[in-house]
Amino acid sequence: MEKIIFAGFGGQGVISAGKLLAIASMREGKEVSHIPSYGAEMRGGTANCAVVVSDDEIASAIVHKPTICIVLNEPSLDKFESLIESGGILIYNSSIINRKPQREDIKIYSIPCNDISEHNGSIRAANMAALGALLKVKPELATMESMKMALVEGISERNHKFNPTNIKVMEEAYSYLK
């Protein structure tokens, strides 16, 4: 079972990223839960979501000690780094996070999410870069193919025009990690 936190500013798409992971994992027969949490302001405020992915029934969807944490901004790194289970995974957006994580008992992946997003023609797809990196480090969560299908299911039809860019960003971030 993986207990995952996606965190960042409102508007960075962390809630959407969690939703897409839940859909992609569900497509592969996993049990999933997705609980969004918004700060007071929405866009520009803090936002995070908890996603649990399991082969077995999920007893509790509450995530106190994540096994995986994806953070897209520095306040989220400050808040969640200490909560990750020992032996867990931290993926952080090195494009805008100016400090290195301090933990030595977790695996840390530095991904320039904003840079990868902008390189592929969008300033708003950093969340897709984070998802691509996550699929690389934890392929048992979902395949890239399931994630591509989740984009069709989980994104409103009026935004489907962005899916080719979203896919390019995910694939580049996936390839970024060796």
The domain that holds 28 is classified in CATH as 3.40.920.10
Residue 41 has pLDDT above 60, yes or no: no
Residue 64 has pLDDT above 80, yes or no: yes
Residue 39 has pLDDT above 70, yes or no: no
Residue 24 has pLDDT above 70, yes or no: yes
Residue 42 has pLDDT above 90, yes or no: no
Range of the domain at 126: 2-176
What is the average pLDDT value for the chain, to the nearest integer? 95
What's the CA dihedral at 62, 65, 71, 75 to 10 degrees? 100
Q: Name the domain count of the chain.
A: 1
Query: What does the pLDDT read at residue 44?
Result: 64
What residues are paired with 47 via a beta bridge? 8, 38
Closest by Cα among 176, 104, 99 to 134: 176
Encode 103-130: b = buried (16+ Cβ within 10 Å), e = exposed.
eeebebbbbbbbbbbbebebebbbbbbb
> Sheet containing 31-38: which strands, arranged edge to edge?
31-38, 46-54, 2-9, 68-71, 89-93, 107-111
Contact 90, 81 (CB under 8 A): yes
CA triple 7-9-12, angle to 5 deg: 85
Q: Give the tens place of pLDDT for each residue, 76-90.
A: 999 999 999 999 999
Looking at per-residue pLDDT, the higher value among 111 and 43 belongs to 111
Residue 27 has pLDDT above 60, yes or no: yes
